[in-house]
Structure 1
């Protein structure tokens, strides 16, 4: 299946499989409030996924367990019996056998759950599922829920639905659960087409072919259900089937964390690399560095609850992740940016999604500006790509992929490439939530081409007789993104109009104080003499107050002036419109239709 087919398949699987699973909510009606449905549906979907993976080897595992149950160490034997999974279940029950005995459903279901290996039980405990068994039983819905998951349409075996697609089904379920709580749209689930673009840009120059190359490490600091990691591994394997990839991730939501850990177990990865906790104030990967970081952290979400710990780490300066500066407490996305940079090896690369505020918010000397300054002056900012609007399931706003490279190619040094890919998409036939467009393979190739060329160009490609996709790129000198914010003082004047002096120096009139923004690549004194002094004689720059700022003028860079219509043409068009309107009115009221 090619990448376009996989992108389309996501939509099919989300719509069909997720709807079927969510329909189990009908059995919970009355026993649970709508915002509580996810407490049952999410862990039950995880359990059923485990069940369907293990079902083909169920009898073999039971036979093996009977032979070795007296041994102190059983893990290796049982994992081998499953065909290589890192989890198992030694209970004689299956979902069909549970369904066959409605009278003993609670005891049998608990026996089934307790038959899982400890790593699965740990996942279910994190999701708070054990309390729900009693609650469902007391409400008389436990048997029906289990029966619902026995339907053929709820088959989640790996040959019916891949690991990546199952992850998207889980993400859709999590999204519905979040919406039922009326939560803020901070977690923007990232569709496969966007992740493929991020992966291709990250790995464009990578060489995975060397047999003695060490395993590449990939980190997601806000992994959700771990689909970015899964897709990254999938894309790298497509470049080199022998490539060794080790994935690491951290997640704060217990439900999505449970799903991510379950997904890693099913795919044969190391579940210990999936860590639960808040990345901002409970970093589970202190001292780790990675080859790649790929992430879509929440934006527009405050970091007030983490503030004490974040500010404490900020005071550590270079010894902490946040020493360079802090963003406003209303939005923590740039803290994730700093965390990702701290986690990169000296040759590491990061693709991270941000909204537009990271480009420009904050005056010179502010936290956001200092973060941009830190990234740009270290020459780590390689490129920024504006994605098409309506690319995400639950937001239609403008979003950007930042490519951070700790070791830029020589040809990219002291340069930044801005790529406007807002016009590079294909419409979906059927939207999924707010997602109305896809970055298909032809679109992705055009964006990657622009990144590869690393030059100021416009790329256009016809995808059918009526539609063209467009990518525009601008290569800028890094220094052009910076500016000096200078403070201009004017003297106080005495009654005779002469400057007031104190210790031989002019006294500033604070009511006339002003500021000017001077490009960093221009001499501020030359600018001052040309742009300020002719209009404010006697003024001077208070250089003790000068601050350096950085912003990324994305919109301005790609702005194209459209010549306004002349007044005569506008007047003519209005006259024609009025004439047409009068004819229609005369016709309506029975008058003459023509003058």
Structure 2
């Protein structure tokens, strides 16, 4: 495979995009150039068999079944997949026609394609509208003529090289249009690392002839991950049959991915269009390998209804039984979707998914995120999590992580999770020239080292103690116990308290005369030498009600007590009618007790010696196991891999500041002079 071929063709196509300057916005270049590139490739693929297809098509009866027609003509076309074109035109003959007729001739050419290709260009790319726009702005012939010169015949550019070319173009167009980070393009070295991790230790399963492996990406974009997975598997075993499946929401990305599958000879019908989370196009299917880089931090509010309905109605019989994450981030929905498609046999499945840090620790005990993590860890589905370097994506510098999930863990990994911190300098190199936000790259040697650390299940081995650690799944769990302290307060009528009472709604509902009367009676009933204990206050409130000739309703009573109460550590603890301590909600606290420890032992050691009057609210229990304390799970990389770096000595900082001051003073002198 020639990188020069890819770069040269990408540069040539980029030069065509420059012809659009002035008539179109930069963000619109890709919508014109990408479909033209695919159209040119298809024209090259069908060139040698064009006449044979036309001859065969003319002899087929009009009433023939459409599927049968597609099968016959695509076999004659011999382009791989169900692709053919029955139009009289080709790029070569279109170029020889009257330039004024080019638009109508191109539309005729498009409608001559097989229905699956027509759908891509007319419905997804909206290409007829693009042709109209180009024609009206006088750019159509110029752009078309340049594409006729693009040398991407399969004799010159392989299918694999064509895939790389697509990805390079998508990356460039994504950069100039400022697309959301990671939404359209995952760096190739990240994809290759993900694939290598996914296939690690699977030599035996991938060996032999007649082996079929099904690979799925639920947010496949332009199909880059699927292509790399197939490439890596074929490198290991050329005889392997790799079936690729995917689904994509973005129309243009879907069109490119499906086109790519067509030109590579795959069954393009396995690439589905639509929202994976609401319209599962591969329902009931299972796969050997799944991989994805779903959108980060993208909310799912606008399509929440069907997701919530599935979760409530189907539970674990559906995809989202473990829980629903917060509406602002749907990454863990994709995780559950992929787990639901794991094979339930001895071969099982493996999942690799790239996400940001949110799914690791967002959400406390009982939250949707925590419950999803709990479900994955308690079912022993998490094999490893790898922290990647920052600044390796094109449009964002955020920290990202690769999760490896499996329902066929080897014996030594059962009940264990491996954390690998591959974010340090040993695993990345600075790029000579930044590409957007991408300033770093994971080299081949670093990738191989990360895979080896994972493959050999290293746990703090010599030289790796700071980057690889093995944990029990329960090490990430905790019980959140509720710690209460008694309510201690006294009651006192103050100007601040009266002002606070006047601001409450129950007080404001009183008539103006009643409001004045109540304020006057407050001092007599609750102030001075009166009993300010809870029982004394209750008696005082009765005196106020009697004096006003009204009944003090519960909301007003609560407002009075709240406004006139002051916390007092020296006051006696308040008791309820049953003689139990009344908790002070303002002093309520929660302690996170490690899952492996008894909460009573923890409380006796960590809380009781410092707050002797505290107690644990034993009614605060977990909804699933019914035990005291709500269960939560989080995976905090910093906690396990943090390394203290002492601050620089003050003398060193002072010397640096003086040097900078001297430099600034020198520059100011030059300016003044």
Q: So what's the TM-score if we normalise by structure 2? A: 0.78
- Residue aligning to 1:592: none
- Residue aligning to 1:224: 221
- Residue aligning to 2:332: 334
Structure with greater strand percent: 1
- Residue aligning to 1:78: 73
- Residue aligning to 1:400: 401
Alignment of 1:440-451 (within 5 A): 440-451=443-454
CA contact (8 A) 1:174 1:256 kept: no
Q: Secondary structure at the match of 1:365?
A: coil
Tell me whether 1:497 sits opposite 2:572 in the alignment: yes
Structure whose alpha-carbon radius of gyration is higher: 2
- Residue aligning to 1:425: 428
Tell me whether 1:46 sits opposite 2:38 in the alignment: yes
Q: So what's the TM-score if we normalise by structure 1? A: 0.87
CA contact (8 A) 1:493 1:500 kept: no
Match of 1:523 among 590, 593, 598: 598
Aligned-pair distance for 1:278? 0.6
Aligned-pair distance for 1:79? 2.6
Tell me whether 1:291 sits opposite 2:260 in the alignment: no
Distance 1:67 1:482, change over 3 A: same
Distance 1:536 1:21, change over 3 A: same
State the alpha-carbon separation in 1 of the partners of residues 463 and 208 from structure 2.
36
State the alpha-carbon separation in 2 of the partners of residues 303 and 90 from structure 1.
43
- Residue aligning to 2:126: 128
Tell me whether 1:260 sits opposite 2:257 in the alignment: yes
State the alpha-carbon separation in 1 of the partners of residues 329 and 6 from structure 2.
30
Q: Deviations over 1:480-536 (max 9, x none)?
A: 111111110112247663552542422212121111111111111101011101111
Bigger mean CA offset, 89-98 vs 293-302? 89-98
Alignment of 1:268-417 (within 5 A): 268-316=265-313, 317-346=315-344, 347-417=348-418
Q: Secondary structure at the match of 2:326?
A: coil
Distance 1:563 1:576, change over 3 A: closer
Aligned-pair distance for 1:203? 1.5
Q: Secondary structure at the match of 2:343?
A: strand
State the alpha-carbon separation in 2 of the partners of residues 144 and 583 from structure 1.
56
Bigger mean CA offset, 17-26 vs 357-366? 17-26
CA contact (8 A) 1:193 1:440 kept: yes
Aligned-pair distance for 1:17? 3.2
Q: Deviations over 1:347-399 (max 9, x none)?
A: 11100000011111111111111111111111101000111222222222111
CA contact (8 A) 1:385 1:418 kept: yes
Runs of 4+ in 1 over 6 A off after TM superposition: 579-589
Aligned-pair distance for 1:286? 1.5
- Residue aligning to 2:587: 512
- Residue aligning to 2:634: 551
List alignment gaps of at least 5 residues for structure 1: 462-469, 590-595
State the alpha-carbon separation in 1 of the partners of residues 664 and 9 from structure 2.
54
State the alpha-carbon separation in 2 of the partners of residues 523 and 236 from structure 1.
48
- Residue aligning to 1:249: 246
Q: Secondary structure at the match of 1:437?
A: strand
Bigger mean CA offset, 58-67 vs 116-125? 58-67
Tell me whether 1:114 sits opposite 2:111 in the alignment: yes
- Residue aligning to 1:474: 469
Q: Deviations over 1:151-172 (max 9, x none)?
A: 2xx2222344343443343344
Q: Secondary structure at the match of 1:53?
A: helix
CA contact (8 A) 2:210 2:239 kept: no
Q: Secondary structure at the match of 2:377?
A: helix
Aligned-pair distance for 1:120? 1.0
Aligned-pair distance for 1:50? 0.9
State the alpha-carbon separation in 1 of the partners of residues 104 and 163 from structure 2.
30
Distance 1:162 1:243, change over 3 A: same
Distance 1:536 1:14, change over 3 A: farther
Q: Deviations over 1:13-63 (max 9, x none)?
A: 775433432433344445444433333222212211211222243344445
Alignment of 1:135-146 (within 5 A): 135-146=133-144
Distance 1:503 1:264, change over 3 A: same
Distance 1:173 1:514, change over 3 A: same
Q: Deviations over 1:287-335 (max 9, x none)?
A: 1121111101101211111111111122122122122222221211111
Q: Secondary structure at the match of 1:543?
A: coil
Distance 1:127 1:583, change over 3 A: closer
Q: Secondary structure at the match of 1:222?
A: coil
Match of 2:615 among 533, 540, 557: 540
Q: Deviations over 1:566-594 (max 9, x none)?
A: xxx533763697599779989999xxxxx
Aligned-pair distance for 1:175? 4.7
Aligned-pair distance for 1:67? 5.8
Distance 1:13 1:251, change over 3 A: farther
CA contact (8 A) 2:170 2:184 kept: no
Tell me whether 1:105 sits opposite 2:102 in the alignment: yes
Distance 1:384 1:459, change over 3 A: farther
State the alpha-carbon separation in 2 of the partners of residues 578 and 244 from structure 1.
68
